[in-house]
Amino acid sequence: MKQRIITGIIGGAVFVSMVLLGGWFFALFITIVASVAMIELLKMKKIAPFSIMGGISLISMWLLLVPTTWFERVVPSHFTKVEIFIFLILVLLMFTVLTKNTFTFDEVGFVILSSVYVGFGFHYLIMTREVPETGLFLVFFVMFLIWTTDSGAYFAGRAFGKRKLWPDISPKKTVEGSIGGIIAAVIVGSIFYLLFPGFVSYITALFIILVASTFGQLGDLVESALKRHYAVKDSGNVLPGHGGILDRFDSLIYVMPILHLLQLI
């Protein structure tokens, strides 16, 4: 427990500092974090990160991660990010032939889906921080909502939990805990908005609260299902007492793309 607390304080302080700095500092930090998350996924599938296939996987993820405007400045090309990403998919498919199915079609699908999951998830986190004037508040707002949902679900589940939410994936989670997490998010999110009004309208803030709390829990279940499928307890061990990067960012990188697709950010 002591190790978990110390890691949480240090990790939280570093992350909050990077969010406050924003710009290239935050983008570089998130790129490192996303790279570790991608490596964790590759190791789950037993794909060596420092191999040709592993390298292509990381490049695919980086393509989706980097904001388009930044990519165009750094890599002057007539091809778009999406076109290059499609080309890399074709290269991965080619490897199934060259390796005589040592690298399988199943692994190609895993790499593509993992690149989209990690790349777009962290991409929209960077893009949220880049929103003019309100980006800082939006990132902190969503972070607080996810943390509050987790805490609210934990305490409500312990106090009132009876009906299992999804026992085949996460046996400890309950329906009562899930509802308690949403209620806690609405209360804390509303207080946050009262303290820092104006970065969005309250109606928009309320929609963000409900989406972040609900889909944040779903994002956690998605990662739990992934770990259960590959028979691992944690996604990694880079954060002592907390597991891996995906264990800490699973809700955030699931919620951010949804908030952008719904045009709430």
Q: Number of C-alpha atoms within 13 angstroms, CB side, residue 65?
A: 24
Q: For residue 208, give every residue at least 6 positions away whose Cβ sits within 8 Å of its Cβ, in sequence order, or none.
A: 141, 142, 145, 189, 200, 259, 264, 265
Taking the C-alpha atoms of residue 65 and residue 115, their distance in angstroms, rounded to an integer, is 9
User: pLDDT grade, residue 252 (50/70/90)?
Assistant: very high
pLDDT tens string 26-43: 999 999 999 999 999 999
> What are the residue ranges spanned by the domains of the chain?
1-130, 133-265
Lowest mean pLDDT among 53-62, 81-90, 230-239: 230-239
Average pLDDT, the chain: 88
Arithmetic mean of pLDDT, 168-180? 88
pTM for the full predicted model: 0.89
Q: Which residue has tokens 């490049």?
A: 59
pLDDT tens string 191-223: 999 998 877 889 999 999 999 999 999 999 999
Judge whether residue 1 has pLDDT over 70. Answer: no
